[in-house]
Amino acid sequence: MEKTFKYLPVVFLVFIGTLILSISLEVRGKSLFFSSAHAGFFDRDLELFEETVDLVAEKYVYPPNFKKLFDGAIENMVKSIEDEKLVHSKRPNFQSLTWKGRTIRFHLTYEQDENFASFVSVYNFLVDEFEGTTTKEKLELSAIRGLIETLDPYSQFMDKEVFNRSMRDTEGKYGGLGMLITMKDKKLEVVDTMRNSPAQRAGITAGDIFVSAAGKETKDIHIEDLAERLRGYPDTQVKLSLKRPADEVVRDYTLTREIIEIETVQYETLDGHVGHIRISGFSKQTDSQLADAFKQAKKDKVKGFILDLRDNPGGLLTQSVKVAGHFLLHNRLVVYTRGREKQDYYEYRADYDNSLHNAPVVALVNGNSASASEIVAGALRDVGRALILGETSYGKGSVQTIFRISDGAGLRLTTSKYYTPSGIDITEHGIIPDILVETDLGENESEEEAPDDEIYHKKKTALPGFPSLRLKEKDVEKIVIQSGGKIDRDHDPLLGLAQMALKNIVKADKKNTLEKVRELAANIIY
């Protein structure tokens, strides 16, 4: 019987000392299960490699390109030797390895079995020629990692230690520094820091870029590798260097790891009987923490809600479905996933009889809202009556399944994609808000000169019907200030605009809420 954890990348919320932009481990069923691949074609030397290839062949979301897979495996295995005299040549009809006058030729095709034979010949050549300078285990693991790197950014091989830690850390506690990180423009960047965490107390802020961690440079490393360096046992120390773009200064830190309690929900009641719910991620505690927020909102006689999903990198799929379900009619479709095969289809529906579907809601998203947060925003936009406000979201719509394989290792593999209730591919389009708030271009900038990630998000706006209204950041600030709204460290202009949109609205009505914002925008005094 096969049962699986589910990750909806990317982004996945991994509680590993650092929160990573992605979507997270999910369980289909009532308890935790793993798929186990079968191996046996080769001897035990390559059992792990064979299992990995078989899983990719059977479970990967797209039919695998075996030529590309084995080429990546061989190339990374050769690279692991680190000997300049070992020459790897690629020609149209064959490849070759040459070392000290000895040469092996091999040919890769699109057939799995033929490529296995070529791979084994290369493996044996390297084992024989470099005995004493490398190991079979090193060669095999390098080949596995090279193979997985040909797939997508979210598929990953995890050795026993990493796999066990990943499983442990999904419980909502971890030994770490308390920061959310993401990869942006090929740089590892801090998205946010958790309240009263080592990172926050040290003065690390959103936008800081990693230069080094644990004594090693962070250039060109995977986000998972950085997370591995940052997490660890409580009361142990780690040294970091981060550059702050605002002043281009590199700051050095020595931080002591702590057990981080994940507080994913923060709540406050704003003027006008509006409840502000900020969800920073989706852990096992999120829905219960949200229930506490609703209790306070009821005491404060809240009429409408601002659901703040900005900088939320994702998390547990089941938790995102529960959160969305609070604002939808019972049994409404929240999200569905679809894999390679026709039978790889699964629907997730709202499960609350006494929901708040009549309560007016404005959901806030930005370019760092990913995975599980996109599920919530997409469902509220498609089948709810919430108004979505902000930037186009990240666009992270793939599902990862974790498989336990030989020797206690694990494989996180992209196995399907997820779609909003109306069938929108989130990876392709992101969640496009009803009201798109665009970044103001500087005096000497033009749209053609915008950074790559801005261009990326502009591409994602090509969806009929969205957005209904476009505003500039400076216009949003003017609207809030001229209307007497509150802007301070904890209350930014977007939050202020959402609060005004909900003023005197007592029943969910996206059309009326949208028209109110149009009216506010039309009355800006310059």
Q: Which amino acid is at 251?
A: R
pLDDT of residue 28: 31
Mean pLDDT of 499-525: 88
Give the pLDDT band of residue 262 (cuts 50, 70, 90): confident
Which is more confidently placed, 369 or 228?
A: 369
- The token pair that represents 110 in the structure block: 């699109």
pLDDT > 60? residue 484: yes
pLDDT of residue 54: 95
- The token pair that represents 421 in the structure block: 């209730």
Give the pLDDT band of residue 12 (cuts 50, 70, 90): very low
Length reported for the chain: 526
Query: 286 and 316 in contact (C-beta within 8 Å)?
Result: yes
pLDDT > 60? residue 445: no
Task: Report which secondary-structure segment, H or E, holds 279.
Answer: strand 274-279
Our answer to whether residue 187 is catalytic in this structure is no
Give the residue from 30, 26, 2, 15 showing the smallest Cα distance to 375.
Answer: 26
- How far is CA 130 from each of CA 14, 86, 311, rounded to the nearest angstrom? 38, 10, 48
- The active-site residue out of 287, 308, 382, 492 is 382
pLDDT of residue 141: 95
pTM as predicted? 0.72
Mean pLDDT of 457-485: 80
Query: 182 and 368 in contact (C-beta within 8 Å)?
Result: yes
Give DSSP secondary structure letters for 459-499: HTT-BTTB-SEEEEHHHHHHHHHHTT---BTTB-HHHHHHH
pLDDT of residue 16: 33
Strands 95-99 and 102-106: antiparallel
Query: 254 and 239 in contact (C-beta within 8 Å)?
Result: yes
Q: Taking all residues of the chain, what is their mean pLDDT, rounded to a whole number? A: 85
Query: 21 and 183 in contact (C-beta within 8 Å)?
Result: yes
> pLDDT per residue over 43-72, tens digit each?
578 999 999 999 999 999 999 999 999 999
pLDDT of residue 356: 93
CATH class of 173-261: mainly beta
pLDDT of residue 361: 97
pLDDT of residue 162: 82
| Residue given tokens 């005096």 in the structure block | 443
Our answer to whether residue 475 is catalytic in this structure is no
Per-residue b/e over 265-299, b at no fewer than 16 CB within 10 Å? bebbbbeebbbbbbbbbbbbbbbebbeebbeebee
> pLDDT per residue over 96-151, tens digit each?
999 999 999 999 999 999 999 999 999 999 999 999 999 999 999 999 999 999 99
- The token pair that represents 47 in the structure block: 């059992």
pLDDT > 50? residue 476: yes
Domain boundaries along the sequence of the chain: 28-158, 173-261, 265-397+415-522
Strand, helix or coil at 251?
Answer: strand
What is the fold of 265-397+415-522? 2-enoyl-CoA Hydratase; Chain A, domain 1 (3.90.226)
> pLDDT per residue over 389-424, tens digit each?
999 999 989 888 889 998 889 999 999 999 999 999
Strands 209-213 and 237-244: antiparallel
Give the pLDDT band of residue 221 (cuts 50, 70, 90): confident
- The active-site residue out of 184, 303, 322, 396 is 396
Query: 117 and 50 in contact (C-beta within 8 Å)?
Result: no
Give the pLDDT band of residue 461 (cuts 50, 70, 90): low
pLDDT of residue 18: 40
- The active-site residue out of 80, 118, 371, 373 is 371
pLDDT > 50? residue 32: no
Give the pLDDT band of residue 250 (cuts 50, 70, 90): very high
Mean pLDDT of 360-382: 95
pLDDT of residue 173: 58
> pLDDT per residue over 332-365, tens digit each?
999 999 998 888 899 999 999 888 999 999 999 9
CA 470 to chain centroid, in Å, comes to 26
428 CB-near residues (< 8 Å, 6+ apart) = 395, 397, 460
Give the pLDDT band of residue 290 (cuts 50, 70, 90): very high
Query: 520 and 503 in contact (C-beta within 8 Å)?
Result: no
- The token pair that represents 163 in the structure block: 């796999």
Query: 174 and 260 in contact (C-beta within 8 Å)?
Result: yes
Our answer to whether residue 396 is catalytic in this structure is yes
Opening angle at CA 148, ends 144 and 154, nearest 5: 140
Give the residue from 361, 337, 320, 365 showing the smallest Cα distance to 457.
Answer: 365
